[in-house]
Structure 1
Amino acid sequence: MTAIALICCLPASAREAAGKGIASTGVIGIEEGQLNADYWIGRQAKPDATILDRKAIAAQNQRLHQQDKSVHDIERLPDTLSQAQVRGWIEAISQPRDETLYDERGETIAAATLKALSADLALDKIPASQPTRYGMVVRRADLRTFPTRLRVFNARGDTDIDRFQESALFPGTPVAIAHASSDGKYWFVVSPLYAAWVEKDRIAEGAKAPVFDYTRKTPYLIVTGATARTVHTPEQPGVSDVQLEMGVRVPLLADWPSDKPVNGQHHYASHVIELPYRDDQGALKFSPALLPRTADVSADYLPLTQANLVRQGFKFFGERYGWGHSYNTRDCSGFVSEIYRSFGVQLPRNTRDQAVSPAYNRIEMADGLSHEERLKIIKTLEVGDLIYIPGHVMMVVGHQDGWPYVIHDTTGITFRDRTGDLTRVHLNGVSVTPLVPLLFNREQPTVDRITSIQRIRP
């Protein structure tokens, strides 16, 4: 399809923007009025209708754990881990690197440095068998390819995408502790959604029962804002200034006595919650903590509705893109995962696993589909549908003139204006864009690279 033909099939607002060059916002097809949740909610016929109720969500989560091999049921791990199991986990992610990599100054990473990282895995120290150990995340923790803070990049000057950054774990997440790095500063952990290296001081080790009992305590609060942060309490630094992300569940100590201070402060202005922390010996302990009543939280998971999907997505609007949850933010798959987690819906961590998971109502977009057939399908998409292209995911936020618009955490978008000139906008954040005018490369429309659509609905 030519550039002119592509413009002709755009929504009216996108055609107008392309005719002018770029819209007033600097992003094709987007005007100021579209940059808020209420605009898109107001376009829905039944924005508050329940898409899936709690029972249906629980059943879907169960399917995920039963059918999706990317998900780890760590609570049901055997009491003893074999050397082969532990080594297999580590080698699945910590593969030797033979490509040229650069540091933050643009200098080539020496081969000796990369070789040393492989040695730091201490694979020869994995015992033939070992008792299964458990722990819990106490502070937001980066998951790393290797046990190092060294940031590496594929190109000089491109320091956004650290190739050793995998993901992040949030406070209250249970993990299995499988191995230690040669210097003892990192643990290799297996969480429900990911396995990688994490700094040891972010994990508190504890017995299996208290670790998993904590995840089931009631009553509880759900963080429904982009983030929430506990009150600064120098009397108990282990639970002071703890960042909690959207969808994180924390036990609520609802019966805390009104005349009993919490970590040196009266609690009438805050929720009293319970958080894990690491004592001086690295052991798992729990403590009351204060979460301000101004925090965006809910007494339960939010109802899964189109309106709530849009609202939750827009709470991240404008946030910087963070590959693998770098920059204390999130990437495209983390973005949609955290939106859905605020409803109690669990998703695999990475786009490659999300896109093919059998737990949802998946529409496979076969390679043989024509552009016109693909356009016919995407016109039927609804709010909350997840659209996958290689390495990226977008969530439908609504329609304009019959065509879908998406919200996504993206490095940038490419399109051709009415004259056929190629335009690249470096968004580097959570953004709303039309879908149809986007290009995957210089010539191929993004629509033609859609591999699948996941529908979190009946």
Structure 2
Amino acid sequence: MLHADYWIGKIHDADKVIMTKNEISKFNQKIIERINKVYNLEKYKESLTKDELMGYINEYKVPTKERYFTNGNVVTKDFYDSLIENTNLVGIKKINPVKYGITVRDTSIRTFPTDTGIYSIKGDNEFDRFQETGCQAIEPVIILHTSYDGKWFFVQMYNYRGWVKKDDIAIAKDKKEIFDYLDTKDFIVVTGNCIRTQFNRLDKDISELEFDMGTRIPIEINKLVSIGNQNAFGNHDVKLPTRDVNGNLVFKDALVSMLQDINIGYLPYTRANILRQAFKLLGDRYGWGDIFNGRDCSSFIMYVYKTFGFRLPRNANEQEESAGISYKFGEGTKVWERIQLFNEVKPGAAIYMPGHAMIYIGTENGIPYIIHDFSGYGIKKGNEYEFVPVNEVGVTSTLLLTSSGTPFIEKFTSILQFEDKI
């Protein structure tokens, strides 16, 4: 049960293509039309008014409840005031032209322009409340604003806004430079948990760079025979964005072994491949907002589906409302009725409940099972339920108890298959 092939063997049409690459592209457009936090960056407006930009930045509010630093000290008003000052609202003009950039490495989108984490519970440093999400390398971003200290950009990626370290972004001359690079027909997709480029003693910018599942990397065909004094035989020649001394975009060639877990182009979208991709992350560390070099529940789903070319919303509640074939649970739906509904659902579908998202993998002895990136579950101790931390990707029954003692399945609100109705 801890192997994808066990569940794939239960599916009669496991290798049938669910949607073609062209159909997935059209499906992504439906998501953009339905979810107002998902954008086509190529069609983003050329400038923002003062009110628009201030509104975006001010969507993030300082906490009103007591919060704690990593060392357990209470966060003070002076600290929050310094964060607001660093958002540089005074630097916003009447009209603010946007710039285009691209991430040169995996990075984080933060609530405010700071690395400092704050936490809801003293001594519990699992959930940094200033961590919004991870942002993979080679992602285009719209640069909307710069922090007062000049170390952070306020950016829009395709499905999220927030503050990113300036040093993780290469600034392009214009959007054409970005999208001419990204829209190439020749690319590889990272289909393993992560890969890395070959060591290059002559250029540290492209040496042993790591790329996570779902990263799309343009490649050069028959261009070079040697990179970094290494013959290119047995490798893909990948074209990577880097920064010059002024932070401007410069492309460099690097090598990725053909034996790493990659695919030329997107994977065929089949139920077997969904499960194979999900199980490659089994045991991986949970990370709220993708901290700890990990993923959280909704980004686990997002990155699995990126290997097929999907551009899903970031957060679980937005994913739940996006396009696809949806099955809804009413509040009064009994457990046996919930189990019965899975007779209509295909493995690989996403399941949602308040604050959590999972992938359905099939049934065992009539019980639906899931693979999910979760923080923990509940176990009964006397008359109380005790929280058991897990913090990793695991396979569980849907009857597993939550920390309140309620089975997961009783909290399900919907199931979503990312495909068009026939």
Q: TM-score normalised to the size of structure 2?
A: 0.95
* Structure 2 Cα separation of the partners of residues 302 and 402 of structure 1: 31
Partner of 1:99 in structure 2? 65
Q: Specify every segment of 5 or more residues in structure 2 that has no aligned partner in the other structure, as ranges.
A: none
2:111 is equivalent to residue 148 of structure 1: no
| 1:70-219 equivalent positions in 2, closer than 5 A | 70-92=37-59, 94-206=60-172, 207-219=174-186
Higher relative contact order structure (alpha carbons within 8 Å, sequence separation ≥ 6) = 1
Report the AA paired with residue 234 of structure 1. R
Comparing 75-84 and 127-136, the one that deviates more: 75-84
Using a 3 Å threshold, how does the CA distance of structure 1 residues 108 and 421 change in structure 2: closer, same or farther? closer
The number of residue pairs the alignment matches comes to 419
* Structure 2 Cα separation of the partners of residues 403 and 415 of structure 1: 19
* Structure 2 Cα separation of the partners of residues 96 and 59 of structure 1: 38
| 1:52-451 equivalent positions in 2, closer than 5 A | 52-92=19-59, 94-206=60-172, 207-258=174-225, 261-357=226-322, 359-415=323-379, 422=385, 424-435=387-398, 437-451=399-413
Question: Which SS does the other structure have where 2:275 is aligned?
Answer: helix
The answer to whether the Cα contact below 8 Å between 2:378 and 2:405 also exists between their aligned partners in 1 is no
Question: Which SS does the other structure have where 1:231 is aligned?
Answer: coil
* Structure 2 Cα separation of the partners of residues 38 and 269 of structure 1: 29
Question: Which SS does the other structure have where 1:214 is aligned?
Answer: helix
Question: Which SS does the other structure have where 2:230 is aligned?
Answer: coil
Comparing 147-156 and 243-252, the one that deviates more: 243-252
The answer to whether the Cα contact below 8 Å between 2:339 and 2:368 also exists between their aligned partners in 1 is no
* Structure 1 Cα separation of the partners of residues 6 and 379 of structure 2: 24
* Structure 2 Cα separation of the partners of residues 403 and 214 of structure 1: 47
Identity of aligned residues (%): 34
* Structure 1 Cα separation of the partners of residues 379 and 313 of structure 2: 30
| 1:42-53 equivalent positions in 2, closer than 5 A | 42-53=9-20
Q: Specify every segment of 5 or more residues in structure 1 that has no aligned partner in the other structure, as ranges.
A: 1-33
Question: How far is the alpha carbon of 1:148 from its aligned partner?
Answer: 0.4
Question: How far is the alpha carbon of 1:152 from its aligned partner?
Answer: 0.9
Question: How far is the alpha carbon of 1:133 from its aligned partner?
Answer: 0.7
Question: How far is the alpha carbon of 1:80 from its aligned partner?
Answer: 2.1
Bigger CA radius of gyration: 1
Question: Which SS does the other structure have where 1:347 is aligned?
Answer: coil
Report the AA paired with residue 357 of structure 2. V
Report the AA paired with residue 378 of structure 2. T
Q: Deviations over 1:305-342 (max 9, x none)?
A: 12111110111110110110101121111111111110
Q: Deviations over 1:225-277 (max 9, x none)?
A: 1111111223222222222111111111111243xx21222111321110100
* Structure 2 Cα separation of the partners of residues 371 and 288 of structure 1: 55
The answer to whether the Cα contact below 8 Å between 1:218 and 1:252 also exists between their aligned partners in 2 is no
The answer to whether the Cα contact below 8 Å between 2:190 and 2:307 also exists between their aligned partners in 1 is yes
Question: How far is the alpha carbon of 1:379 from its aligned partner?
Answer: 4.2
Using a 3 Å threshold, how does the CA distance of structure 1 residues 433 and 349 change in structure 2: closer, same or farther? same
* Structure 1 Cα separation of the partners of residues 224 and 151 of structure 2: 40
Question: How far is the alpha carbon of 1:204 from its aligned partner?
Answer: 0.6
Question: How far is the alpha carbon of 1:415 from its aligned partner?
Answer: 4.8
Report the AA paired with residue 228 of structure 1. I
Question: How far is the alpha carbon of 1:54 from its aligned partner?
Answer: 2.0
* Structure 2 Cα separation of the partners of residues 348 and 79 of structure 1: 23
Question: How far is the alpha carbon of 1:293 from its aligned partner?
Answer: 2.0
* Structure 1 Cα separation of the partners of residues 68 and 264 of structure 2: 46
Comparing 211-220 and 183-192, the one that deviates more: 211-220
Q: TM-score normalised to the size of structure 1?
A: 0.88
The answer to whether the Cα contact below 8 Å between 2:377 and 2:403 also exists between their aligned partners in 1 is no
* Structure 2 Cα separation of the partners of residues 203 and 442 of structure 1: 42
Question: How far is the alpha carbon of 1:187 from its aligned partner?
Answer: 0.5
Report the AA paired with residue 320 of structure 1. R
Question: Which SS does the other structure have where 1:198 is aligned?
Answer: strand
* Structure 2 Cα separation of the partners of residues 77 and 46 of structure 1: 40
Q: Deviations over 1:57-81 (max 9, x none)?
A: 1221121122221202222122222
More strand by share: 2
* Structure 2 Cα separation of the partners of residues 442 and 173 of structure 1: 39
- Across the aligned residues of Structure 1 and Structure 2, the Cα RMSD in angstroms comes to 1.8
Question: How far is the alpha carbon of 1:296 from its aligned partner?
Answer: 0.6
Question: How far is the alpha carbon of 1:422 from its aligned partner?
Answer: 4.1
Question: How far is the alpha carbon of 1:132 from its aligned partner?
Answer: 1.7
Q: Deviations over 1:79-116 (max 9, x none)?
A: 22211221122112x21222111111111112211221
The answer to whether the Cα contact below 8 Å between 1:415 and 1:438 also exists between their aligned partners in 2 is no
Question: How far is the alpha carbon of 1:400 from its aligned partner?
Answer: 0.3
Report the AA paired with residue 349 of structure 1. R
